Amino acid sequence: MTEGTIVKWHKKEGDPISPGDMLCDIQTDKAVITFDIEEEGILAKILKAENSKNVKIGSMIAVMVEEGEDWQNAEIPESSESSSEASTSSEPSSAPSAGEPTARIRMSPAARKMMEEYNISSPQTVPATGPHGMVNKGDVLKYIQTQHLTKIDLRKAAQVPPSPQKSTPTTPSTPTSSPVTRVPPSITVSPEGGYQDIETTNMRRVIAKRLTESKTMIPHSYVSIECKVDAAMKLRKKFIASGTKISMNDIIVKAAGYSLQRVQKVNSHWSGDSIQIQPTVDISVAVATDSGLITPIVRNAAELSLSQISSTTKALAVKARDGKLQPQEFQGGSFTISNLGMFGIGEFSAIINPPQTAVLAVGTSVLKPSAEGKPCSYLTVKMSYDSRAIDETEASQFLEKFQQVMENPSLLMV
C-alpha cells in the first residue's frame, strides 16, 4: 500500500479521544480498515476530509492536542512524508535541544506531557513501540520504570520543574509538496464522444502493478490436465440432498488441499533466492468485486471438511464484495485457485500471485465421450508455476494427485 482514501471520520473536531476509539475508516488497496487511536486527547483539526483520495502513506491527516488545551486555535504543522503510515500528529511539538538530531520524532500528547513531567529532554532516548516509530505513553512509562531501577531517582526528578520548551510548528526535514494529488472525475466523456475516461480504483492500480511485476520477474511455466468429475458431481448432489449446500469449487479447494499436502513443494513461497515450504495449506480463492479481484484465504484448507470450506468461502466472499475483509483474511496464502467455470470459460492461464509459487486456473466442465464411449463430464485445470521453485516433475505430480482425488472424491471423506 502506498496511498489510501479517507472514507469516513468517526470523530469530529473538538471530540475527546481515548485509547481504542475508532478514529476513521481508510480504504486500502484491498479493503476498508478502521484506524484505531492508541492515545488520549482532543481531536483539534481534521486535515483530510471524508472521501479524500490518493492520500499518501505518511501524510498527516489530523492534529490532536492535550485535554484542556485550546483545540480551536491549535497550530497546524506542515505535512510530513517522513513517516511510513497515515498518522495523527500531536501539537504543539517540542523544538530539539542543542546537540540533538533534528530528525522528527513522532509522539503522542500523553507521551510528551509525561516526558516533560519527568524532565526527559531527549525523545530519542525512549525506545518507541508505537506504529512505525511513534513514542506513546506506554513507552515513556516503561522507560521511566527502567531508569528508576538503574539510574534515575524519580522522587528527585519529580521535584525538578519541567524544562521550558518553546512550542514551534513541526517542520519536515525536507520540503515536500502537497500529498494529495488532483483527482480527475470518475468518468470523463470526450467532446467528440469517442471514448470515456474511467478512474481506476486503488485496488485495480495495485493489481496492475503486481501482475506486471509477476509476469515480468517470475519465469512462468504451465501444465494442464483433464479430470473426469462425474463422481464429484454425484458427491455434491448427495450433500445437497442431505441439507448441506456445497459447490464444485468447494470440492476443488478440498482436492487442492489434499494434493498440496502430498506434493509440498507446490505449497511454497519464493523468498530472495530460496524456497520456503509453508507449514499449513492456506488457499487463496479469487473473488471478483466491483473494485477488482481479491483473494481471501481459506486457512488450513486440507484439514477442513467440505461443509466447513463451503461456509468459510461464502462468508469470505460476502465480506470481500462488501469491502470488509480484514488484512489477515487476504494477506498471505500458500496457493491460489482462480475459477472461471461459472462463466463458461473452458480453459485459461492465470498469473502467479507472489510470493506464492503456483496458481490453479479452473475452467468449466464439458460433456464428451469417455474412452469407453460413454458421455462423461470433464474439467480442465491448468497450473501456472514458478520454475525457479518447482520443476516439471513436481508440477505433474501435483496435478496427478489432484486428478486422482477429483475422480475418486471418496478420498476427501477420509
Distance CA 52, CA 34 (A): 15
Q: What is the DSSP letter of 344?
A: T
Residue 228 has pLDDT above 50, yes or no: yes
Candidate from 42-56, 158-172, 294-308 with smallest mean pLDDT: 158-172
* Long-range CB contact pairs, 200-206, < 8 A, 24+: 201/291, 201/292, 202/3, 202/4, 202/5, 202/27, 202/28, 202/29, 202/291, 203/29, 203/30, 203/289, 203/291, 203/292, 203/294, 204/291, 204/292, 205/29, 206/1, 206/29, 206/30
* 335-339 vs 358-369, strand pairing mode: parallel
Confidence of residue 78 (pLDDT cuts 50, 70, 90): low
Question: Is the four-CA dihedral 405, 408, 411, 413 of positive or negative sign?
Answer: positive
Query: What whole-number percentage of the chain has pLDDT above 90?
Result: 41
* Average pLDDT for 45-60: 87
* Average pLDDT for 267-285: 95
- Decide: helix, strand or coil at residue 32: strand
Distance CA 148, CA 20 (A): 29
Top mean pLDDT of 52-56, 75-79, 122-126 is at 52-56
- For residue 31, the model assigns a pLDDT of 75
Confidence of residue 152 (pLDDT cuts 50, 70, 90): very low
- For residue 36, the model assigns a pLDDT of 81
* Average pLDDT for 156-162: 47
Cβ–Cβ under 8 Å, residues 36 and 21: yes
Residue 87 has pLDDT above 60, yes or no: no
Distance CA 266, CA 284 (A): 14
Cβ–Cβ under 8 Å, residues 256 and 248: no
Candidate from 126-140, 161-175, 257-271 with smallest mean pLDDT: 161-175
The residue whose grid cell reads 520540503 is 175
